[in-house]
Amino acid sequence: MIDASAIRRIGSLPFQKMNDETLVVDPKTREVHLLNPTASRVWELLATPQTLGDLVGSLGREFDAPAETLRADVTALLQELSGKGLIDSTGWRKDDR
């Protein structure tokens, strides 16, 4: 993942917030994903494209965690969301996904 690249939701995916979780439906793959509260918050922030730095900055103001830990956790989460086809990035390398 490239730090400066813009990460975004796959724009047209149907989703609905359910309390602090989010249900995301992918009609093309026939899969449904239930995002946990942290992933839901990231999904919410990605309503507008963000860089990894933006995301870590925003989450750092909400979660009491060391910056490096947060960065590693967010990176892993983004890789997972990308692997499920829920987000993409203008700067992702093929082997990042």
Partner 1 sequence: MIPRDAAAARCRDDELVGMESAAALIRTAQTWAHDNVVPFNVSLETTLECNIRCIHCYNFDRDEPRARTRQSCRPAAAPERPRLSTDELLGLIGDVRAAGCLFLSLTGGEVLTHPDLFALLDRARELNMAVQLLTNGTMLRPGIAGKLARLPNLLGASVSLYGASAGVHDGITQVTGSFQRTWDGVERLRAAGVSVRLKYIVMRQNAHETEAMMAMATARDLPYSVDLTITARHDGSDGSLAARIDGSQLEALYRGPLRPLLPPGRRPPPPAETFNCNCARGNCAISATGEVYPCISVPWSAGNVRDRPFAEIWGRSPVFQRIRGLTLADFPQCAPCPHRGHCTHDRGAAFNATGDYTGADPFVCQTAELAHRLADESGD
Say if CB 78 and CB 42 are below 8 A apart.
yes
Question: Residue 30: left (phi > 0), alpha (psi -120 to 50), or beta?
Answer: left
Say if CB 96 and CB 82 are below 8 A apart.
yes
Q: How many residues bind partner 1 (CB under 8 A)?
A: 15
Q: Hey, which residues between 18 and 77 contact partner 1 (CB under 8 A)?
A: 18-19, 23, 25, 27-28, 30-32, 34
Q: Hey, which residues between 2 and 21 contact partner 1 (CB under 8 A)?
A: 12-16, 18-19
Tokens standing for residue 9: 């939701």
In whole angstroms, the minimum distance from the beta carbon of 22 to partner 1 comes to 10
- Residue 29 or 69: the one with the smaller Cβ distance to partner 1 is 29
